[in-house]
Amino acid sequence: MARKPLQRVLEEHCEQLMALPGVVGTAMGLCSGEPCIRVFVVEKTGDLLKQIPTEIEGYQVAIDETGEIEALNEVD
């Protein structure tokens, strides 16, 4: 059985991942040349790493520590 497209898997799991305290974003990406899910966190903590799965529906999950992410103000 073929697995779901990465975009669909991410759409189905984004809300659940974003609900975790410390998660500030998700994206599609590449891990060792293969499609994967990237999860952006303020800080990699042991507790948070335990809550984020290492794979979702056959796609590897990579965790990137980014710090806080803020929207830029519009420039006129």
The helix (run of H) or strand (run of E) holding residue 9 is helix 6-18
| Out of 5-14, 16-25, 67-76, least confident range | 67-76
Per-residue model confidence (pLDDT) at position 49:
93
Asked if residue 71 is part of any domain, the answer here is no
For the entire predicted model, the pTM comes to 0.86
Asked if residue 1 is part of any domain, the answer here is no
Asked if residue 54 is part of any domain, the answer here is yes
Asked if residue 15 is part of any domain, the answer here is yes
52-74 residue pLDDT tens: 999 999 999 999 999 888 778 87
Asked if residue 24 is part of any domain, the answer here is yes
Asked if residue 75 is part of any domain, the answer here is no
Per-residue model confidence (pLDDT) at position 1:
59
Neighbouring C-beta atoms of residue 73, cutoff 10 Å: 6
Domain enclosing residue 25, as ranges: 6-65
Short-list 47, 72, 52, CA closest to 64: 52
Strands (E), 1-76: 23-31, 34-41, 55-56, 59-65
